[in-house]
Amino acid sequence: MSARDAILNRLRHRRDGALTAPVSDFAVVTEKQWNETEKLDLFQQKIESVHAEVHRVSKENWLEKLKELLAEKQVKNLLTPMQAQVGVDTRAALKEDDVELLAYDQPIEGWKAELFSNVDASITDVRSAIAETGSLVLWPDLDQPRLMTLVPPIHFAVVDADQLKNTFHEVIVSEGWVSEGMPTNALLISGPSKTADIEQTLAYGVHGPKELVVLVRQ
């Protein structure tokens, strides 16, 4: 008998007989709801508490703020999406600028060393965001691959205020994740990479970005 069959067989023929599934009451999760203002405040408070930097910007002037931040953080090059509107707008706005625009336009194998050593920052959009935990929800894809939000030391994320949901549970259910089918990788990001493995002392940027900058467009 294969290991698989042996294990399943033992589980099926339980000594103490079949088990009954208890009812799961999700009310404690689904009753968590806030209005739009509260959601935004809560999101900002939560994500700032884990060291992210949040800027509330308008839909019209967000690129000005981005330019300002890039200069302030002395970003020399910026990895941008090619198709997502955030990327298109960023590229158009920074064309004349000092910041070199980079594209993730080939498989990682072709430019691993370059990405790991020479990219200062990246910018991406998000799929949604979560107020309760201050989280960004991303489904990395061809245009905004997985390592784009992980390897560069600074990650700029652009969030629209109306993308805010109450809870992770609401995101899964209201966006129909199960019926839509899960992507290769789905991701929640809440703050920059961190560790407390040395005597409970927090340090940022241990493997991923040292800085997470969130631009909330209202």
Partner 1 sequence: MSHNQVVQEFHPRVHEAITNPQIRANFRKAMDGLMDKRQLAFPSDDELQRTRELAAAIRLRALSKLPELLEKLEANLTANGVKVHWAETGDEACKIILDICNEKNAKSVIKGKSMVSEEMELNHYLEEHGIEALESDLGEYIVQLAEETPSHIIMPAIHKNTDQISDLMHEKTGTNKSRDVEYLTAEARQQLRERFEKADVGVSGVNFAVAETGTLCLVENEGNGRLTTTVPPVHIAVTGIEKVVENLEDVAPLLSLLTRSATGQHITTYFNMISSPRKEGELDGPEEVHLVLVDSGRSNIYQDDELLDTLRCIRCGACMNHCPVYTRIGGHAYGYTYPGPIGKILMPHLAGLDDAKDLPSASSLCGACGEVCPVKIPIPKLLVRLREESVAGDHNHDNSVVKGRGAKRKGMEPLIWKGWAKMHKHGGLYRTGTGLATVFRGLVPSNLGAWTNCRTAPKLAKTTLHQQMKARSQNNAASQKKDGGDQ
* Residues 89-118 interacting with partner 1 (rule: CB under 8 A): 104-108, 112-113, 116
d(CA 8, CA 119): 48
d(CA 81, CA 93): 14
- Report 190-209 residues binding partner 1 (CB under 8 A): 190-201, 203, 205-209
Contact 213, 69 (CB under 8 A): yes
4 vs 95, which CB is nearer to partner 1? 4
Residue 57 touching partner 1 (CB under 8 A): no
Instruction: Specify burial of residue 150 (Cβ count, 10 A radius: 0-12, 13-18, 19+).
Output: middle
Residue 134 touching partner 1 (CB under 8 A): yes
CB of 162 to partner 1, least distance (A): 22
> CA-based angle 80:203:75, to the nearest 5?
30
d(CA 96, CA 94): 6
Among 44, 145, 214, 215, binds partner 1 (CB under 8 A): 145
d(CA 195, CA 167): 25
CB of 135 to partner 1, least distance (A): 6
Longest dimension (CA), the chain: 73
Tokens of 35: 């209005």
- The residue range among 22-30, 57-65, 69-77, 119-127 that interacts with partner 1, by the rule CB under 8 A, is 22-30
- The residue range among 53-61, 66-74, 77-85, 174-182 that interacts with partner 1, by the rule CB under 8 A, is 174-182
Residue 176 touching partner 1 (CB under 8 A): no
CB of 34 to partner 1, least distance (A): 15
Residue 28 touching partner 1 (CB under 8 A): yes
